[in-house]
């Protein structure tokens, strides 16, 4: 009698746990198809690096399912620090934001742009300006920042292995900052292989081949590209929208093909027939 | 000796809805609800100012993420605080005595409380989702005019998906409300309920770690323990059906329905446990 | 033929209620082997000091607590069952209601919970609000009510479904003497309607005025139960109240009584009860103001 209350309480707790375990077990087959999809896009949380940077309160927030909003607040903070040209803090925050939530591509894209395009400018201005810092030193700074940006974007492939956008950003850094057309072309090529690649990526790849004097490769590439572009095909049941036509720029690609045929002296009989 | 013949009192949905209606009315007349709602709306609406940062088309993705982040944060807070508060106000102010002294089942009372809170959170989710949809539509039109090349495949935002995600968050809050009600049904104070419910929120978001880990644990007893743990708590990560809300590949409606069913089952289970615990509670 | 037993509203048999104080089994016995029967149509007073088990007993009657041992039936139905409360109205001690509802909304809410048919609901709500004298404040929010008004709206919600048994837990706690007298008046009206009323109160004078029967609890045990007149009336003795007598007249009276075998035990000046004096003065002042 004396320990009755305790026994009853223990039995009650055991019953509650049993109900929850049976529910969890029974619902698992129903849950799994959805969970596989969610799990595939669920990046791991790097708690060790976060706890030092954020403190325990924010870390608990992340664990509580608020990682998106925590990352967004840090992203706003990044932009505010960026407008003060504070290089070390901006760089640290850019990385922190993608550690907290690596899912949004725009964190990677915009973070890399800040590192590759804005930070060299800040460093040169801090060194006395474009007149004072030597061209060689400027080139060196560009290379350093570009490497940081490319490494950063490459890290993004860990979470977004099929992202055309990350390849495009890498290509742009090679092209615009390092003036390395070959590396840029390779990156554009990889971007063009991805399922969500915009039409212009393949055009630019062809153009870069051409600028490097690799006309035959460019010609072969564009010939292969043209049939995949949206265009009006007589007799087809469905036609692309005006916007798709505009974005695909099939006539421009055809024009390039014709120019290359002239340059490569392709006989009319062998010319490309769309 | 009086042996008046009494008809039994069947379970009544109408009584349940009367309690729900009263709970809803009490909640919306409380400052907390209005405060959190205004804060969430203010935060979502402040996404309008992200254009200052010149994100370009990624601004839309950011607004969408940020809006849903605000909704998840304030929604979770509102769900836990409102459920605990609306339950304990009945106990502490002894209005529960007056109601439960009437011919009403405790099941009707508990589920009435749940439905009332669920309706309050539903209003919150509907308002924040609609505001977000409106804001995104407005900004998408503006950005489309500025950067047409980013919209070569048409509009970026799937507005239908946004609404589906809003509904899924609402259902998740429903499970959270049922969990909070279960904790409230046996706990003595509002504060304990709120703290425990936040712990549960965190654990349910981390449940998947146990779910993933048990196969890799070498020791059998430990593996069994991890497995049991993975069964005890519902998996809140399941409600994040897409990593980029309303953007990118569209939502699979079959999966969304499956997740909704998952939520409904857990609402019923935790609601049932709350009733079980509350039935033996001495008022 | 014997007289038929009067119908019973509440029947409590061998009731014991323990509350666990610690997980290891230490407990507090709030009600100890209580047996009590409350007939229909009576006003029954449950008395006792704080902690004597009155409120616990009431909560068991209302099904809010389960007995540890024993049984409790309301109109023949075990009190743990929902249908035992179909014919019960309850006014808790120092009631607190939903502050954001008006008096009418509040009574309506409880009426709907009790299943008063929609067709009759509005009329019934109006009727009970009139009956407790709150018509003038029916549309005010309950949050603005005074203590006395809260008790009255509490009584209205307890009566909205026209129950046969009304349980009033300290109905006059914190209410001024005027409000208290009005509540006593309402209780007597309920009795006149044939309702059974179970009342607990610290105001023994009030209990004495309205109750037919009382039970006294102490430390959870029933220590006295009986008819009010039997308990407090002094059988075999009488008091005479006369105009003032002189000393000589008083001596004459003593002799006259002694010759007939009686004694004069006490000569005192009768006193009015303070609450009655208060009520007469206050009502006079109110009348004066009205003029």
C144 vs C156: CA distance, rounded Å = 17
Output the pLDDT for position B4: 37
Nearest residue of B to residue A63 by CA position?
A: B202
Has the ipTM of the complex gone over 0.95? no
CB A222 within 8 A of CB A206: yes
With contacts defined as CB-CB under 8 Å, which chain C residues touch A9? 23
Tell whether pTM > 0.95.
Answer: no
Confidence bin at A264 (pLDDT 50/70/90): confident
Q: What is the mean pLDDT of residues C83-97?
A: 90
Least confident piece of the model among A72-76, B145-149, C108-112: B145-149
CA distance B6 to chain A (A): 32
More confident position, B141 or A148: A148
Q: Do A65 and B76 touch (CB under 8 A)?
A: yes
A232 vs A236: CA distance, rounded Å = 8
Q: Is A60 on the interface with B (CB under 8 A)?
A: yes
Least confident piece of the model among A8-12, A124-128, B155-159, C189-193: B155-159
H/E segment holding residue C276: helix C274-290
Output the pLDDT for position B6: 41
Q: Is B68 on the interface with A (CB under 8 A)?
A: yes
Nearest residue of B to residue C108 by CA position?
A: B18
Q: What is the mean pLDDT of residues B198-224?
A: 81
Output the pLDDT for position C285: 60
Residues 6 or more apart whose Cβ sits within 8 Å of residue C12: C34, C35, C36, C37, C57, C60, C61, C70, C71, C72, C73
Output the pLDDT for position B240: 81
Output the pLDDT for position A47: 54
CA distance B127 to chain C (A): 24
Confidence bin at C89 (pLDDT 50/70/90): very high
Output the pLDDT for position B245: 59
Q: How many CA atoms lie within 13 A of B229 on its CB side?
A: 20
Our measurement of the distance from residue B255's CA atom to the centroid of its chain's CA atoms, rounded to an integer in Å, reads: 19
Mean of pLDDT over chain A: 85
List residues of C whose CB lies inside 8 A of any B CB: 5, 7-9, 19, 40, 59, 62-66, 75-77, 81-88, 90, 92, 94-98, 100-101, 109-110, 112-115, 154, 157, 167
Residue C60 pLDDT more than 70? yes
Output the pLDDT for position B46: 77
Nearest residue of C to residue A10 by CA position?
A: C23
B174 vs B177: CA distance, rounded Å = 5
Output the pLDDT for position A137: 93
With contacts defined as CB-CB under 8 Å, which chain C residues touch A10? none
Q: Do B212 and A39 touch (CB under 8 A)?
A: yes
Residue B56 pLDDT more than 70? no
With contacts defined as CB-CB under 8 Å, which chain B residues touch C115? 12, 15, 103
For residue range B107-138, what is the model confidence (pLDDT) as tens digits? 999 999 999 999 999 999 999 999 889 988 88
With contacts defined as CB-CB under 8 Å, which chain B residues touch A16? 273, 276-277
Confidence bin at A2 (pLDDT 50/70/90): very low
Q: Do C90 and B101 touch (CB under 8 A)?
A: yes
Which residue, among B152, B206, B262, B270, would best test binding to A if mutated, counting the most A CBs under 10 Å from its CB? B152
- φ, ψ dihedrals at B32, nearest 5°: -60, -45
From the list B65, B276, B280, which residue is nearest A72 (CB)?
Answer: B65
Nearest residue of C to residue A2 by CA position?
A: C25
Strand order through the sheet with C77-78:
C27-39, C8-20, C69-74, C77-78
Q: What is the mean pLDDT of residues C147-167?
A: 92
Q: Which A residues 148-177 touch B at CB under 8 Å?
A: none
Q: Which B residues 209-268 touch C at CB under 8 Å?
A: none
Residue C70 pLDDT more than 70? yes
Least confident piece of the model among A153-162, B211-220, C131-140, C199-208: B211-220
Nearest residue of C to residue B22 by CA position?
A: C109
Output the pLDDT for position A246: 73
Nearest residue of B to residue A37 by CA position?
A: B241
C250 vs C260: CA distance, rounded Å = 16
Burial level of C281, CB count in 10 A (0-12/13-18/19+)?
exposed
Q: Which C residues 27-56 touch A at CB under 8 Å?
A: 27
Q: Do A2 and C23 touch (CB under 8 A)?
A: no
Nearest residue of B to residue A200 by CA position?
A: B149
Our measurement of the distance from residue C44's CA atom to the centroid of its chain's CA atoms, rounded to an integer in Å, reads: 7
Q: What is the mean pLDDT of residues A72-96?
A: 89
A250: three-class secondary structure by DSSP? helix
Q: Is B67 on the interface with A (CB under 8 A)?
A: no
Q: What is the mean pLDDT of residues A121-131?
A: 92
DSSP bridge pairs for B179: none
CB pairs under 8 A between A and B: 138
CA distance C66 to chain B (A): 8
Output the pLDDT for position A125: 92
Nearest partner of B9 among C118, C80, C120, C159, judged by Cα: C80
Q: Do A4 and C23 touch (CB under 8 A)?
A: no
Output the pLDDT for position A64: 59
A100 vs A103: CA distance, rounded Å = 9
Q: Could you tell me which chains touch chain A, where touching means 3 or more CB pairs under 8 A?
A: B, C
Residue C286 pLDDT more than 60? no
Torsion of CA B223, B225, B231, B232, to 10 degrees: -160
With contacts defined as CB-CB under 8 Å, which chain A residues touch C25? 1-6
Residues 6 or more apart whose Cβ sits within 8 Å of residue C70: C12, C13, C14, C15, C16, C33, C34
B270 vs B263: CA distance, rounded Å = 11
B173 vs B200: CA distance, rounded Å = 12
List residues of A whose CB lies inside 8 A of any C CB: 1-6, 9
Measure CA of the first residue to CA of the last residue in chain C; give whole Å: 61
Confidence bin at B3 (pLDDT 50/70/90): very low
Residue B260 pLDDT more than 50? yes
The angle at the Cα of B156, spanning B170 to B135, to the nearest 5 degrees, equals 55
CA distance C234 to chain A (A): 47
Least confident piece of the model among A247-251, B83-87, C256-260, C271-275: C271-275
Residue B232 pLDDT more than 70? yes
CA distance C83 to chain B (A): 5
Nearest residue of A to residue C19 by CA position?
A: A5
Q: What is the mean pLDDT of residues C187-197?
A: 93
Q: Is B211 on the interface with A (CB under 8 A)?
A: yes
> Alpha helix locations (H) across A62-180?
67-82, 87-100, 105-113, 119-126, 135-156, 164-172
Q: Do B101 and C19 touch (CB under 8 A)?
A: no
Q: What is the mean pLDDT of residues B51-78?
A: 78
CA distance A71 to chain B (A): 9
For residue range C140-152, what is the model confidence (pLDDT) as tens digits? 999 899 888 898 8
With contacts defined as CB-CB under 8 Å, which chain C residues touch A2? 24-25
Q: What is the mean pLDDT of residues A227-232?
A: 79
Our measurement of the distance from residue C80's CA atom to the centroid of its chain's CA atoms, rounded to an integer in Å, reads: 23
Q: Is A103 on the interface with B (CB under 8 A)?
A: yes
Q: CA of A138: how far to CAs of A155, B274, C69, in Å? A: 26, 68, 91
The DSSP code sequence of B117-173 is HHHHHHHHHHHHHHHHHHHHHHHHHHHHHH-GGGGTTS-S--HHHHHHHHHHHHHHH
With contacts defined as CB-CB under 8 Å, which chain A residues touch B230? 24
Report CA Rg, chain C.
Answer: 23
C24 vs C47: CA distance, rounded Å = 33
More confident position, C120 or B150: C120
Q: Could you tell me which chains touch chain C, where touching means 3 or more CB pairs under 8 A?
A: A, B
With contacts defined as CB-CB under 8 Å, which chain B residues touch A15? 276
With contacts defined as CB-CB under 8 Å, which chain A residues touch B169? none
Q: Is B31 on the interface with C (CB under 8 A)?
A: no
Q: What is the mean pLDDT of residues A41-61?
A: 58
Mean of pLDDT over chain C: 87
Looking at chain A, the whole-number percentage of residues with pLDDT higher than 70 is 89
Q: What is the mean pLDDT of residues A257-270?
A: 85
Nearest residue of B to residue A72 by CA position?
A: B66
CA distance B25 to chain C (A): 9
CB C98 within 8 A of CB B27: no
Our measurement of the distance from residue B10's CA atom to the centroid of its chain's CA atoms, rounded to an integer in Å, reads: 30
More confident position, C53 or A199: C53
A105 vs B60: CA distance, rounded Å = 12
From the list B65, B198, B208, which residue is nearest A104 (CB)?
Answer: B65
| Most confident of the following: A51-65, B73-87, C173-187 | B73-87
Confidence bin at C2 (pLDDT 50/70/90): low
From the list B2, B14, B93, which residue is nearest C76 (CB)?
Answer: B2
Q: What is the mean pLDDT of residues A83-94?
A: 90
Looking at chain B, the whole-number percentage of residues with pLDDT higher than 90 is 44
CB A195 within 8 A of CB A162: yes
For residue range C32-43, what is the model confidence (pLDDT) as tens digits? 999 999 999 999
CA distance C261 to chain B (A): 47
Output the pLDDT for position C90: 95
Q: Do C25 and A5 touch (CB under 8 A)?
A: yes
Output the pLDDT for position C43: 95
Residue B184 pLDDT more than 60? yes
């Amino acid at each position: 009698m004396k320990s009755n209350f305790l026994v009853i309480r223990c039995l009650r707790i055991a019953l509650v746990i049993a109900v929850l375990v049976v529910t969890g077990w029974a619902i698992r087959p129903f849950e799994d198809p959805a969970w596989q999809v969610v799990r595939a896009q669920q990046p791991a949380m790097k708690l060790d690096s976060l706890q030092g940077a954020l403190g325990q309160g924010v870390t608990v927030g992340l664990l509580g399912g608020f990682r998106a909003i925590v990352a967004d607040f840090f992203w706003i903070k990044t932009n505010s620090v960026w407008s003060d040209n504070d290089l070390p803090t901006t760089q640290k925050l850019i990385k922190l934001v993608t550690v907290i939530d690596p899912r949004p591509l725009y964190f990677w894209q915009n973070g890399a742009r800040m590192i590759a395009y804005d930070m060299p400018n800040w460093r040169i201005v801090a060194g006395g300006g474009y007149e004072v810092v030597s061209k060689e030193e400027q080139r060196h700074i560009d290379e350093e920042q570009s490497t940081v940006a490319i490494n950063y974007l490459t890290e993004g492939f860990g979470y977004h292995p099929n992202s055309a956008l990350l390849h495009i950003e890498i290509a742009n850094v090679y092209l615009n900052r390092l003036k390395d057309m070959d590396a840029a072309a390779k990156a554009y090529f990889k971007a063009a292989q991805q399922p969500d690649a915009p039409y212009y990526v393949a055009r630019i790849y062809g153009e870069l081949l051409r600028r490097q004097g690799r006309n035959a490769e460019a010609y072969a590439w564009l010939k292969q590209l043209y049939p995949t572009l949206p265009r009006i095909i007589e007799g087809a049941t469905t036609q692309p929208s005006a916007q798709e036509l505009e974005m695909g720029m099939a006539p421009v690609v055809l024009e390039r093909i014709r120019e290359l045929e002239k340059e490569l002296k392709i006989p009319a009989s062998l010319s490309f027939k769309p | 000796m009086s042996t008046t013949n009494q008809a039994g009192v069947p379970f009544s949905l109408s009584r349940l809805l009367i309690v729900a209606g009263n709970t809803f009315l009490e909640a919306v007349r409380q400052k907390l609800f209005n405060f959190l709602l205004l804060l969430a709306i203010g935060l979502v609406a402040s996404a309008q100012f992200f254009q200052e940062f010149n994100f370009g088309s990624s601004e839309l993705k950011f607004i969408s993420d940020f809006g849903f982040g605000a909704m998840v944060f304030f929604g979770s807070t509102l769900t836990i605080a409102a459920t605990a508060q609306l339950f304990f106000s009945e106990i502490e102010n002894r209005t529960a005595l007056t109601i439960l002294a009437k011919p009403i089942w405790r099941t009707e009372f508990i589920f009435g409380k749940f439905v009332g809170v669920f309706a309050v959170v539903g209003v919150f989710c509907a308002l924040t989702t609609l505001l977000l949809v409106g804001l995104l539509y407005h900004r998408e039109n503006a950005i489309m005019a500025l950067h047409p090349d980013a919209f070569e495949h048409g509009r970026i935002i799937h507005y239908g998906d946004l609404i589906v995600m809003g509904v899924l968050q609402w259902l998740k809050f429903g499970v959270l409300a049922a969990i909070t009600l279960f904790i409230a049904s046996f706990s003595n104070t509002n504060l304990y309920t709120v703290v425990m419910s936040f712990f549960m929120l965190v654990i349910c978001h981390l449940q998947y770690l146990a779910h993933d880990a048990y196969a890799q644990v070498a020791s059998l007893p430990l593996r069994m323990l991890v497995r049991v743990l993975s069964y005890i708590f519902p998996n809140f990560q399941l409600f994040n059906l897409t990593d980029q809300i309303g953007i990118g590949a569209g939502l699979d409606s079959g999966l969304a329905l499956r997740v909704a069913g998952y939520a409904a089952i857990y609402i019923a289970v935790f609601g049932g446990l709350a009733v079980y615990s509350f039935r033996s509670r001495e008022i | 033929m014997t007289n038929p037993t009067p119908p019973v509203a509440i029947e409590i048999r061998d009731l014991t209620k323990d509350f666990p104080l610690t997980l290891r089994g230490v407990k507090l016995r709030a009600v100890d082997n209580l047996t009590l029967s409350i007939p229909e149509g009576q006003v029954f007073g449950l008395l006792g000091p704080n902690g004597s088990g009155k409120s616990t007993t009431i909560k068991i009657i209302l099904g809010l607590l389960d007995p540890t041992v024993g049984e409790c039936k309301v109109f023949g139905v075990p009190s743990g069952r929902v249908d035992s409360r179909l014919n019960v109205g309850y006014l808790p001690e120092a009631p607190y209601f939903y502050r954001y509802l008006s008096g009418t909304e509040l009574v309506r809410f409880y009426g709907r919970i009790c299943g008063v048919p929609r067709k009759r609901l509005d009329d019934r709500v109006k009727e009970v609000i009139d009956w407790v004298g709150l018509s003038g404040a029916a549309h005010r929010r309950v949050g603005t009510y005074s203590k006395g008004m809260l008790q009255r709206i509490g009584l209205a919600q307890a009566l909205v479904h026209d129950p046969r048994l009304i349980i009033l837990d300290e109905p006059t706690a914190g209410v001024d003497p005027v409000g208290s007298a009005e509540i006593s008046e309402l209780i007597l009206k309920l009795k006149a309607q044939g309702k059974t009323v179970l009342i607990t109160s610290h105001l023994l004078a009030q209990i004495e005025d309205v109750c037919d029967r009382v039970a006294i609890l102490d430390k959870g045990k029933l220590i006295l139960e009986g008819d009010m007149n039997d308990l407090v009336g002094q059988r075999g003795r009488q008091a005479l109240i006369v105009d003032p007598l002189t000393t000589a007249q008083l001596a004459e009276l003593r002799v006259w009584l002694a010759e007939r075998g009686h004694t004069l035990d006490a000569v005192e000046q009768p006193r009015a009860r303070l609450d009655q004096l208060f009520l007469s003065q206050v009502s006079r002042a109110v009348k004066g103001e009205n003029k």
